[in-house]
Each structure stands twice: as structure tokens, then as C-alpha cells.
Amino acid sequence: MKDFLYLNMDFLETFMAQKNGGLEVLRAIDDTRLESTTAGTETITQEAKIEGKLNAIMAKLNGIGSVSVQSPSVFETDTSIIRNVLLMKQRESMFDSFLDHYELLNKPYAEKTDEYSLGKYVGLKTYFDFVSLSRLEALTTSELYDFYFNKEKLFSINEIQEIRQCISHLKTLFPFDSFLTAEGAIVLMEEKHLRVANSQIGYKFNSTDISVVGKVYRNVGKVREKSAPINQTLDKIQILTFSLLRTIGVLRESDSDIYLITPIAIYS
């Protein structure tokens, strides 16, 4: 069973719609609600209509079983459970369909980004570290100086101030607050697709082998010589940005070539 840390359902829904009209199932699931009529204080569930819809959806999703008509109160509870199961199965089915389409299903994921080609969808399973600039900023407040320096001897005041200044610059220069880092790779994450609270990710998933499926967009270690002058300037700013990540210890000094990966799914 996949334990998803991140899942871009917007992308998967678009993929399915383009591939084979897969959004038909999405619409059917969304239309499956408890239709009812109200007389006074009594609500009567139209069970037969719901039963037919759910069974039709399950047939499209290769059969979870079938629904039998029950009393309204029991049926409403079961419908909620079935709906959740359908949605989970739907997500897994859409993701597996994507993997199969790009020949990643049941294929061992690569361990290093140098096995990739730019612009390709890839699967990577390796040791990742999670970084949240907001969390790092919160951990370098002046109120914590005494704890870090006088009590635990972790940093000097100058070191902690330098880290905080770097983070302040990074939050302006770098358009992502949360990301994963591995040897030679940065996996960029949009917060809306996270399935775990941002503040909890470091404790749950940090420094472990995690599977990432996504697209390798570019190598940001070099200036693009064929680009227009303004883009070359932006490339230099980007290189400077990543030097700040090295200063605070997020990247290794040896990581000269850095691939940016836009993830579709991250899971353990």
C-alpha cells in the first residue's frame, strides 16, 4: 500500500481526460449523493437510485462489489464509507494508469538523477531530506539564540544570524517553501498537493528512502548560453540562489549539477 506524502490530482485528472475520457468516472462519483425527499421532520432516502449509481461506478472501476439496499440510517453510513473507498481506488487507478502509460509500472525506480534525460517522466527511489524554509525561519528566531548558543553550544550567534539572513533571501528568490533534496536533485512541491501537514513532514518522512514520480525539467547548475541576455542574468541569479542553499547546508558543495523535478506523486 502506498502512503502518499504528495499527490497532484489536478495533473492526473487532466492526464486521464486526455488519455481516454477518464473524467466520466469522476463526474459519476461526484453525482453520487444521498438524494432525498423531506416530509415534515422525516427524510426518506431514495435508496434504489443511489444503489444503481454506486454499482455502475464500481463496474467501471473493475468491481469492488455491489451495494444492497438497506434502511436509510445504515445506508447513509455505508454510502460514506463506499464513497471514500471509491475515491481511494480512483486515485490509485489513475496513478497506475499514468505509470503504465509511461512504462514506469512495475519497473524499478532509478537511484540517481544522472540516469535521467531532461524533459522525461521518471521514477526515483532514494534517500531524501525534507526542507521547509518557513520552518527553518521559525527555528532561527532571536528568542532561540540563548538555547542554541549558551545552553547547547550548537551555533554561535553570528552563525545563526547568517543562517536567518540566508533564509530571508531565499524566501524572496526561491518560489517554493517546501521541497525535497537528494544527491543532485531538488523535488519542488506545491503545498496544495501535500497530503501531510507541512509542519509534520520532517518528522514523518525526513531522511528516508522515498519514491518520487515526476518530470525532470532542467539542470540549474549552468547558464544557458543560447538564451537571451535577460535569461542568462536570471540563470546567474538562480545559481546564486542555490549557493545560499549550500551556505545553510541544504545542498552539498559537490552538487554542481542540480536537476529540478516537478513531482506528480511522492510516497513511501
What dihedral do alpha carbons 59, 60, 64, 67 form, nearest 10°? -50
59 and 189 co-located in one domain: no
pTM score: 0.71
User: What is residue 68's predicted lDDT score, i.e. its pLDDT?
Assistant: 47
Does residue 106 lie in a domain region?
no
126 and 240 co-located in one domain: yes
User: What is residue 6's predicted lDDT score, i.e. its pLDDT?
Assistant: 92
**Domain boundary residue among 43, 74, 101?**
101
User: What is residue 53's predicted lDDT score, i.e. its pLDDT?
Assistant: 54
Q: What is the pLDDT of residues 216-236, one digit of tens each?
A: 887 776 787 888 988 888 888
95 and 120 co-located in one domain: no
91 and 119 co-located in one domain: no
80 and 158 co-located in one domain: no
66 and 185 co-located in one domain: no
37 and 137 co-located in one domain: no
User: What is residue 187's predicted lDDT score, i.e. its pLDDT?
Assistant: 93
Does residue 253 lie in a domain region?
yes
Q: Please check whether residue 212 is in contact with residue 221, taking contact to mean a CB–CB distance below 8 angstroms.
A: no
Domain count, the chain: 2
Does residue 108 lie in a domain region?
no
User: What is residue 263's predicted lDDT score, i.e. its pLDDT?
Assistant: 95
131 and 162 co-located in one domain: yes
Does residue 107 lie in a domain region?
no
86 and 160 co-located in one domain: no
159 and 262 co-located in one domain: yes
130 and 39 co-located in one domain: no
Q: Which residues on adjacent β-strands are paired with residue 193? A: none
**Domain boundary residue among 101, 124, 159?**
101
Identify the domain containing residue 149 by its residue range.
113-267
Q: Which three cell numbers stand for residue 225?
A: 548560453
Does residue 124 lie in a domain region?
yes
Instruction: Tell me whether residue 111 is exposed, middle or buried, using C-beta atoms within 10 angstroms of its C-beta: 0 to 12, 13 to 18, 19 or more.
Output: middle
**Domain boundary residue among 75, 101, 127?**
101
Q: Please check whether residue 246 is in contact with residue 170, taking contact to mean a CB–CB distance below 8 angstroms.
A: no
145 and 235 co-located in one domain: yes
pLDDT tens, the chain, 268 aa long: 788 889 999 999 888 888 765 555 555 545 444 444 444 444 444 444 545 555 555 555 554 444 444 445 544 555 666 666 666 777 888 888 899 998 888 888 887 666 567 788 989 888 888 888 988 888 888 888 777 777 667 777 788 888 889 999 999 998 898 899 887 789 999 989 988 877 777 766 665 678 999 998 877 767 878 889 888 888 888 888 888 998 888 888 777 778 889 999 998 8
User: What is residue 140's predicted lDDT score, i.e. its pLDDT?
Assistant: 84
- Name the residue among 135, 137, 161, 138 with its Cα closest to residue 149: 161
